[in-house]
Amino acid sequence: KLNPQVVEALNKQINNELHASYTYLAMSAYFEAQDLPGFASWFRGHSAEEDTHAMRIFDFIAKRGARINLDGIAKPQTEYESPVDVLEQALAQEQTVTAQINALFELAHEVKEYSTQNMLNWFLAEQIEEEDLFTSILDKAKAASGDRWNLLLLDQELAKRGGGQ
Ligand code: OFO
């Protein structure tokens, strides 16, 4: 049986992933309003990716015969100063998620939840990819900042990448 403390923490992480998804959707909406459809679709794709992260944990809890408890999702920030501001906040959010996964792993380790550690290994690897991805797009957004033409070129690149990749 899954340790109850771990079940609670995993449920909390479902909420964290859904909150990340909702935040990226709000960022997508911001870019729609800025007439940057490539950024908008990229963030929308990433929002969908966060939903799959939540569902991975959802499925894990279900498979282990424990109870899934869904909570309310907090309202995301909807206004941003600039594309660079969005990317900075998105990277900060990924760093927060990394810290959450690390804390979960530490708890699973403490209480000797081996299968949970195994499941979390996927997330540890994923967070390295995600932080790297957001860092590279933040760098590009910074390089393009203040120049609408450069921003539109980056927007085109993101439109081609799609799906939050
Ligand atoms: Fe982008 O982070 Fe989920 O896990």
Q: How confident is the model at residue 163 (pLDDT cuts 50, 70, 90)?
A: low
Q: Are 145 and 82 in contact (CB under 8 A)?
A: yes
Q: How far is the CA of 112 from the centre of ligand 1 (A)?
A: 24
Q: What is the mean pLDDT of residues 132-160?
A: 95
Q: What is the pLDDT of residue 69?
A: 98
Share of the chain above pLDDT 90, in %: 96
DSSP-derived letter for residue 165 is -
Q: What is the pLDDT of residue 165?
A: 65
Residues 6+ apart with CB under 8 A from 92: none
Side-chain half-sphere exposure of 119, counting CA atoms within 13 A: 21
Predicted ipTM of the assembly: 0.93
Q: Which atom of ligand 1 is nearest to the CA of 130?
A: 1
Q: Is the pLDDT of residue 162 over 90?
A: no
Provide the annotated binding site: 17, 50, 53, 94, 127
What CA–CA distances, in Å, run from 145 to 5, 42, 47, 83?
45, 18, 24, 8
Provide the annotated binding site for Fe cation: 17, 50, 53, 94, 127
Amino acid at 62: A
Q: How far is the CA of 128 from the centre of ligand 1 (A)?
A: 10
Q: What is the pLDDT of residues 25-77, one digit of tens each?
A: 999 999 999 999 999 999 999 999 999 999 999 999 999 999 999 999 999 99
Q: What is the mean pLDDT of residues 136-153?
A: 95
Give the residue, out of 50, 55, 119, 134, with the most ligand 1 atoms within 8 A of its beta carbon, to mutate for a pocket test.
Answer: 50
Q: Are 29 and 39 in contact (CB under 8 A)?
A: no
Q: How confident is the model at residue 133 (pLDDT cuts 50, 70, 90)?
A: very high
